Amino acid sequence: RTQTHKPFSVRSQAAPVLSQDELKKLAADKAVESVKSGMILGLGTGSTAAFVVDKLGQLLSTGQLSNIIGIPTSKRTQEQAASLNIPLSTLDSHPHIDLAIDGADEVDPNLDLVKGRGGALLREKMVEAASSSFIVVADDSKLVSGLGGSGLAMPVEVVQFCWKYNLVRLQGLFKELGCEAKLRVDGSEKPYVTDNGNYIVDLYFQNPIKDGFGAGKEISALEGVVEHGLFLGMATSVIIAGKTGVEIMNK
Ligand code: 5RP
């Protein structure tokens, strides 16, 4: 059930080497092919999702799409979509979303994900959980054999109150995976504050998480944890762009 689409005609002997942004755009454009006029759409956050929003704006402006309503997953995406005249609404007004398209930080072979390095995990999870379909778009650098295995951050959104207490508790949960927990900071070394007014504790693992569902449950059970970046069983398909083309992995 995995399909591969070559990005370029086989006539050219040496396929051009695409930049990471070009790969992201390729995946984004492929995903937007699933968008139909009249849909309620979940709009993701991040550099790959931004290509999706750009493409939607372009198709709306040329009349190739009409009557779509976007539900943004962050203030950033809201601003981008508004600047492209994409009609926007909220989950309160549209609790059932037809299709969400978003990027990911890690994608494992079961289509389970780590998300939230862009800080939008809470709204992303709420919007994507309310969507009938959820397409993930990414370049092939996001593929991992086990979640947490990239050595990069697995984010957890926590309330500001006694964040250090929760940082220590989160690190303690995953001692055997060599977990190091760090408070996320912004460019001025001040705590990074999410769109929801919370902090983010980033978890760095030396070894991949074996039981994602168990880990998610343990994290969520900590009082003061708002949401975690494990998106398990949520993606209906993943579109990955790499040197050999665009691969579509379906559930
Ligand atoms: C934001 C996210 C993003 O989807 C994720 O970080 C991927 O971003 P990018 O497409 O820029 O690599 O989860 O919270």
- Residue 103 Cα: closest atom of ligand 1: 4
pLDDT-derived band at 1, boundaries 50, 70, 90: low
Please say if the pLDDT value at position 141 is more than 70: yes
How many A from CA of 198 to the centre of ligand 1? 18
pLDDT one-digit tens code per residue, 209-241: 999 999 999 999 999 999 999 999 999 999 999
Beta-bridged to residue 41, according to DSSP, are 70, 99
pLDDT one-digit tens code per residue, 81-140: 999 999 999 999 999 999 999 999 999 999 999 999 999 999 999 999 999 999 999 999
Percentage of the chain surpassing pLDDT 70? 94
Find the helix or strand (DSSP H, E) in which 215 lies. Answer: helix 212-220
Catalytic residue, chosen from 124, 157, 227, 247, is 124
pTM (2 decimals)?
0.94
| Residue 149 DSSP symbol | T
Go through the chain and tell me how many residues it has.
251
Q: Which token pair is 53?
A: 């929003």
How many A from CA of 14 to the centre of ligand 1? 31
- Residue 50 Cα: closest atom of ligand 1: 10
Q: Is 124 a catalytic residue?
A: yes
Residue 178 amino acid letter: G
| Distance (Å, whole) CA 200 – CA 119 | 8
Whose Cα sits closest to atom 4 in ligand 1?
103
